Structure 1
Amino acid sequence: MTLGLQLGYWGALYPAAHIELAQEAERLGYDSVWTAESWGNDCFTPLAWIGANTSRIRLGTSVAQISARTPASCAMSALALDHMSNGRMILGLGVSGPQVVEGWYGQPYAKPVSRTREYVSIIRQILAREGPVSNDGEHYPLPYTGPGAWGMGKGLKSITHPLRADLPIFLGAEGPKNVTQTAEIADGWLPLYYSPYRQEVYADQLSKAKAGFEIAAFTLVNMNDDMEQALYPVKAMLGFYIGGMGSKQRNFHKELMARMGFADEAEQIQDLFFEGKRDEAIATVPDEFADEISLSGPRDRIRERLQDWRNSPVTSLLINGDATLLREMAEMVL
């Protein structure tokens, strides 16, 4: 099992420490570093900056939102970064949610699974560079012949020769159909919540994954002798995502928590969050759930529980933290 550094998205300001953290992670032997986007910074620009200031660590997007750019544009960014980093690029993709897609990108969210399949197919064609790219799907028709078309479009092949036709593509997926498709068409999976103690939740969906399929799981790590304090950041994150990262009608994080055995609690968390009772929503997150998807507590306890992650299908733990935490985890895992 390897380690990756998950830097996430920025928030209000540019986090200047990210370069130093990535360099420290590389020095410690971390396998990868990941950047994200929400409705602020993009994920490719900071990853390019990190790539220019490192030499070995793999560079991943976790995740590039597919509604933010066309498949061809996304492939161009990945292709360029792969060349400039000497083959270190991992293209992590995700559909985000209807609030962001329709509210920020101004696009319909309908049929995210089939949309993802088309998106990946087009990127694979571009990277393979075997001929002009075409797609007769409903989401990304190429050449485009729909309303407003001049009727002059033609299939094109990338001018730039990709460094690798097999540049790895990972997908961030939560729903059962999306995870099943991820195992079929992608090289790796980026689960948001994963419990090594409930492997049955995803067992059937991952059963057809090809050899070498990677699972890079984001895992909050909080070393603290006080378990209540150690679990609080995890519960705060879950309270926000399950309560507020989605509408009352559809919240994929809430639905996943329900599939993992905590349906009643997920419903209560969302109700409290929408009532403005955020502290109560956080307190309602079960300690058991927060503990299972994280590494929390005293150092020795975390060391013991790492064995449960090693015994799972997870191939890499993506952690977020300061240089001290990076060194602690490297000592225990690497």
Structure 2
Amino acid sequence: MGVVVGMPWPGAEVAAEAEQAGVGAFCTGEFVDHDAYARLAEMAGSTGTAQIGTAIAYAFARTPYAHAAAVRTLAARAPGRVFLGLGSGAYRINRDWFGVPADRPVARTADLIGAVRAWLQAENGERVRHQGEFYSIDADVQAPVLGRVDVPILLGGFNAGMAAATGRVADGIIGHGLFTRPWWEDVVRPAVGKGLAGVDREEPHLEHGWVITAVDDAAPERAIADARRMIAFYLTVRTYDPYVAHHGWEGPVETLRAAFRAGDTDAMAAAVTDEMLTAIAVSGNTSEARQMLAAKAGALPADVAYLAPPSFLVGRRRRAAYARASLALVDAVPEPPA
């Protein structure tokens, strides 16, 4: 089976066109203006066959109970189609926005997944039990509302530590839009493999991932600039410094971070080199984008690749236009390497 083409949720109207065009998965992230589970409910009611899930929901913003209750509700509405993708989120967001502890994120996330599973796998009449370092549950639910729910739990993993955790405790990994062939092959997949060592799994470990995609036949240069700006915005975060060093991109990244501090988004985009753009994104006109995508064998996740419009300083109408334009790329996604 080849790579399933997906996209971040583009709204019901575009999603209907996308399913007809062969898009087989939709995901939603979340931010201050959109809740992951509320949007997932919209996805459940507006799609027929596609996989749907969070990629990602903020792991520590909710209790394990809240994650599991939402998943139970939505899995009943879209049986066999829902997956749960969790991500630790930035330390400052957890501290300053959510007011929750987020130290030791790898261990904390692993424990949370165990607690969520306890709620999802509980049968009627059983106590829900989980005893971990960060989460302790001993719930006697005296109502016939439980029963095992088998929903894949994926974990957003960027650096090697979290990627290894996905192998140990999750059903799959969700790759970031910055991922390149070297990062998948040199860092992420080896780390996942180490995490999987000694783990008894019946099902294969899944790979989902985002691919920055901006296609516009009428204004290809603007699409390319939007892709560059999205890459630059991501790379302002120092969490990704090991990634930057792995590619030897310290010079351009120093320049784009200085531009970001000065509020010069055009200079941010200009600092993204052609090498960086080609390694990370798919952009330009349809013909160029199809060629770029076809050349990405090994740079794409093995199971689901989300063709993701840029969001930094890109309005909703243009994101919707990029989503529609990306439908012309569905048949250009290469098969994963053997």
Fold similarity call, TM over 0.5: yes
Are 2:209 and 1:217 aligned? yes
SS at match of 1:164: coil
Shift of 1:197: 4.8
Aligned partner of 2:32 among 36, 39, 43: 39
Task: Give the conservation status (yes or no) of the 8 Å contact 1:64–1:93.
Answer: yes
Structure 2: stretches of 5+ with no match in the other structure: 309-319
Query: Distance in 1 between the 2:275 and 2:29 partners?
Result: 28
Are 2:245 and 1:258 aligned? yes
Task: Give the conservation status (yes or no) of the 8 Å contact 2:214–2:326.
Answer: no
Match for residue 171 of structure 1?
155
Structure 1 residues 156 and 262 mapped into 2: Cα distance closer, same or farther (>3 Å)?
Answer: farther
Task: Give the conservation status (yes or no) of the 8 Å contact 1:168–1:187.
Answer: yes
Q: Percent identity?
A: 25
Write the letter of the residue equivalent to 1:124. Answer: R
Task: Give the conservation status (yes or no) of the 8 Å contact 2:256–2:272.
Answer: yes
| TM-score (structure 1 length as normaliser) | 0.82
Are 2:9 and 1:22 aligned? no
Query: Distance in 1 between the 2:105 and 2:26 partners?
Result: 26
Structure 1 residues 280 and 91 mapped into 2: Cα distance closer, same or farther (>3 Å)?
Answer: same
Q: Give the paired residue count.
A: 308
| TM-score (structure 2 length as normaliser) | 0.81
Match for residue 11 of structure 1?
none
Query: Distance in 1 between the 2:193 and 2:233 partners?
Result: 31
Match for residue 77 of structure 1?
70
Match for residue 7 of structure 2?
5
Query: Distance in 2 between the 1:235 and 1:214 partners?
Result: 28
Match for residue 194 of structure 1?
179
SS at match of 2:243: helix
After superposition, give the CA deviation of every residue in 1:43-79 in whole Å (9 maximum; x if it has no partner). 1112112211222111111111012210111011011
SS at match of 1:272: helix
Shift of 1:230: 4.3
Aligned partner of 2:307 among 300, 304, 319: 319
Matches within 5 A, 1:176-187: 176-187=160-171
Shift of 1:215: 1.6
Query: Distance in 2 between the 1:283 and 1:27 partners?
Result: 37
Task: Give the conservation status (yes or no) of the 8 Å contact 1:87–1:163.
Answer: no
Structure 1: stretches of 5+ with no match in the other structure: 8-16, 144-153
Shift of 1:5: 1.4
- Tell which deviates more after alignment, 19-28 or 65-74: 19-28
Structure 1 residues 64 and 241 mapped into 2: Cα distance closer, same or farther (>3 Å)?
Answer: same
Query: Distance in 2 between the 1:163 and 1:134 partners?
Result: 14
Aligned partner of 2:131 among 128, 131, 136: 136
